Structure 1
């Protein structure tokens, strides 16, 4: 297919980045946007609620945790415009829209006395504690983005592509510097924080940290999750980073469908298909697989997962029994490790 006309600024984001007031940006004193504030307030409130519960102030802990869950849902709701208009991602848009009612319902269940939800609250708190500092402290953010970009570029070189790296729109050396006159679409991509896998790492880190289990097993599970996520994320970045400039999905019927019904720019079709549909769908499969592997090592994480299922379905599930696991409890119950 002949190259599509596009200038050197035709760049797609491999993940998530600046979008005005609807996206998390590096926070500095006196310059904290609404999304930053909602995220930090909700995570801090989660931890304070857990502290209150630990000190025996159960009723106060329930009320505060309920408010924290609502704030957390509001944070995700504030991300909807970005997912819909900028990223054009149906999956992320739907999940962000669903977050507020689900979080509000979780808070209601806690307020109504379902104290087992505190383990899920603890998991979310630790997820935020892992993710937010990386998101909001510039030095950590820059290191993670540029390291991921360098590793992705090295993997591209192994496949015979060596575009070089230049400064992306986010100000980091993270842009794959393909010549727009030599590629099919004239576009390229640059790495941002969501491309580093830190979100998935925070999810599993929070789950593992939230339960009581021997440190050796928890460390093993965490190392496994981080290693697998890093490797799969590298493959994902290379796939999207090559599919976009070389137009792997610029087939005529796809271009027609995406431009007519999805409002996509013609030259962005290959990026959107690779990123929003193929990569995101496979990411869900990967998360399920990693979860199963982690459960084999730390079955205690089934407890917060049971609470997630109850919130989603209103039905009690015994995952320990379903997966033939000895019923070890996240609150430090029986653990007969040999």
Structure 2
């Protein structure tokens, strides 16, 4: 889950501020306020405020549909953003109906926003993330014998790989944007880890591990896409036909779209599931908000500790015993 600012070409604005930014900040602000109310034991007001935050959060994702459909041309991300509104409204409904356990997931979203939105909206942080990621990706390309150099991209950052269009297969190149930095996925795991009730010392290892693995895999992804696009690794006729006929994209974008929208995004889902499993093994409390996600999706209660096997169940029990011993509760 990333939370990018809607590009100017499709963004609706309030004054000079994109509507997506307004909705995102409003939702995260409401989630944070609900979290504070819960900490102060005002549970019922926290539920109602979090319910409203979920609805606004869903509206934010709805504003992203034109971007993912018209510009990114990503079927996966378009479907996810379309599904976000009804799922978010349902989460709000469950909170209003008294499902207090959803407050943990709401708190996780609050922390995710606190991780992500400053990076997205503070210019100096945004510039550093994008240009550092571009430099690291270029270093990765050099390991494979390519050294195109970095030039200014259309987004105004030194993040475009300067392949000579007369020497490459497609004549195209790529540039790094905010969603290429991996900060969205990092925010997801950071938010989940921060939100659960566990001692800080047990949160450090899964946090560092998840951030490190995401950083490395994201770098591999950027190098793969950055080379596949100019050098036409997927310019075969069957892919060109699909991209031009069903996605309405130019033929020379085929390698980029196949590498980015289908291969990389599909493998990213697999990678995130693997990282989730590693985090759960180290911090079983993360299962609680994940169970809430499954309940929203299916309407069925799940015991993920039991489903994942005795090892995780044992770690969950051990974590509970550790928490009781640290609070004097036995």
Using structure 2 for the length normalisation, give the TM-score. Answer: 0.92
Which of 115, 120, 125 is matched with 2:100 structurally? Answer: 115
Contact 1:146–1:172 (Cα < 8 Å) also in 2 = yes
**Which residue in the other structure is 1:129 paired with?**
114
User: What are the Cα deviations for residues 216-241 of structure 1, in whole angstroms up to 9, with x where unaligned?
Assistant: 22110010001100110010000000
Contact 1:66–1:111 (Cα < 8 Å) also in 2 = yes
Once residues 71 and 18 of structure 1 are traced to their aligned partners in structure 2, the CA distance between those partners, rounded to angstroms, is: 16
Which of 18, 21, 24 is matched with 1:33 structurally? Answer: 18
Q: 1:45 to 1:237 in 2, by over 3 A?
A: same
Alignment root-mean-square deviation, CA: 2.2
**Which residue in the other structure is 1:176 paired with?**
161
**Which residue in the other structure is 2:53 paired with?**
68
With a CA cutoff of 8 Å and minimum separation of 6, indicate the structure with the bigger relative contact order.
Answer: 1
Contact 1:21–1:33 (Cα < 8 Å) also in 2 = no
In proportion to residue count, which structure has more helix?
2
Which of 143, 150, 162 is matched with 1:158 structurally? Answer: 143
- SS, match of residue 160 in structure 2: strand
CA positional deviation for 1:89: 0.2
**5+ residue gaps, structure 2:** none
Using structure 1 for the length normalisation, give the TM-score. Answer: 0.90
CA positional deviation for 1:24: 10
Which of 35, 40, 48 is matched with 2:33 structurally? Answer: 48
**Which residue in the other structure is 1:20 paired with?**
8
Contact 1:201–1:225 (Cα < 8 Å) also in 2 = yes
Once residues 111 and 16 of structure 2 are traced to their aligned partners in structure 1, the CA distance between those partners, rounded to angstroms, is: 24
CA positional deviation for 1:19: 2.1
Once residues 220 and 248 of structure 1 are traced to their aligned partners in structure 2, the CA distance between those partners, rounded to angstroms, is: 38
Contact 1:21–1:35 (Cα < 8 Å) also in 2 = no
User: What are the Cα deviations for residues 268-302 of structure 1, in whole angstroms up to 9, with x where unaligned?
Assistant: 01100000000000000000000000001001000
**Which residue in the other structure is 2:196 paired with?**
211
Once residues 165 and 17 of structure 1 are traced to their aligned partners in structure 2, the CA distance between those partners, rounded to angstroms, is: 24
Contact 2:196–2:286 (Cα < 8 Å) also in 1 = yes
Once residues 235 and 24 of structure 1 are traced to their aligned partners in structure 2, the CA distance between those partners, rounded to angstroms, is: 34
Once residues 90 and 107 of structure 1 are traced to their aligned partners in structure 2, the CA distance between those partners, rounded to angstroms, is: 26
- SS, match of residue 322 in structure 2: coil
**5+ residue gaps, structure 1:** 1-14
Counterparts of 1:225-240 in structure 2 under 5 Å?
225-240=210-225
Contact 1:217–1:298 (Cα < 8 Å) also in 2 = yes
Once residues 181 and 120 of structure 1 are traced to their aligned partners in structure 2, the CA distance between those partners, rounded to angstroms, is: 51
CA positional deviation for 1:304: 0.3
- SS, match of residue 189 in structure 1: coil
Once residues 319 and 24 of structure 1 are traced to their aligned partners in structure 2, the CA distance between those partners, rounded to angstroms, is: 41
CA positional deviation for 1:32: 2.2
**Which residue in the other structure is 1:314 paired with?**
299
